[in-house]
């Protein structure tokens, strides 16, 4: 980008409301290396597929297709590791609890808070 303001918005209660006015409204067609742009435009398509599209003349791209590291693709393919089975189980209420602190959320809740703490009693499984 060239550090020009293209849109403005006012923040109100944690949300940005755009002012309905476009400052710049021109389209740009380029023949330089747009491999990453085409990768994103076509739903994060792979390099070989883009090369095939280029071979067929579907892309206005004169240079060799070379996609750089894409954070979205890496995150999309990552997985959470499973939790191992616990060997411990509680024999009475509040003997063993599970707690999860989460936040900050993008918007405040009705009480104006952005952090959440959930506690689950292992014995009763109640929140
Ligand atoms: Zn991608």
**Could you report the per-residue pLDDT of 70-80, keeping only the tens digit for each?**
999 988 888 77
Whole-number Å distance, alpha carbon 86 to ligand 1 midpoint, is: 37
Q: Is 13 helix (H, G, I), strand (E, B) or coil?
A: coil
Average pLDDT over residues 91-97: 92
Q: Which residues neighbour ligand 1 (ion) by CB within 5 Å?
A: 44, 70, 72-73
- Report the separation in Å between the CA atom of 71 and the middle of ligand 1, taken as the mean of its atom positions: 7
> In this model, does residue 88 exceed pLDDT 70?
yes
For residue 35, the CA-to-ligand 1 centroid distance in Å is: 11
* Distance (Å) from CA 64 to ligand 1 centroid: 18
- pLDDT (tens digit per residue) in 9-66: 888 888 888 876 555 555 555 556 788 988 998 999 999 999 998 888 888 766 888 8
CA–CA–CA angle 45, 31, 62 (5° rounding): 75
CA of 63 relative to ligand 1 center, distance in Å = 19
- The answer to whether the beta carbons of residues 59 and 38 sit under 8 Å apart is yes
| pLDDT at residue 8, rounded to an integer | 78
State the distance from the centre of ligand 1 to the C-alpha of 62, rounded, in angstroms.
Answer: 21
Q: What is the DSSP string of 29-82?
A: ---S--HHHHHHHTTS--HHHHHHHHHTT-S---SPP-----HHHHHHH--PPP
Q: Are 10 and 16 a contacting pair, CB within 8 Å? A: yes
């Amino acid at each position: 980008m060239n550090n020009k303001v293209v849109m403005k918005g006012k923040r109100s209660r944690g949300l940005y409301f755009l002012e309905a006015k476009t400052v710049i409204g021109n389209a740009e067609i380029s023949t330089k290396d747009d491999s990453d742009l085409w990768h994103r435009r076509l739903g994060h398509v792979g390099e070989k597929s883009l090369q095939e599209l280029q071979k067929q003349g579907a892309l206005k791209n004169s240079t060799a297709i070379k996609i750089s590291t894409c954070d979205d693709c890496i995150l999309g393919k990552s997985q959470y590791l499973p939790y191992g089975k616990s060997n411990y189980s509680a024999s009475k209420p509040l003997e063993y609890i599970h707690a999860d602190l989460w936040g900050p959320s993008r918007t405040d809740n009705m009480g104006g808070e952005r952090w959440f703490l959930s506690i689950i009693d292992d014995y009763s499984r109640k929140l």
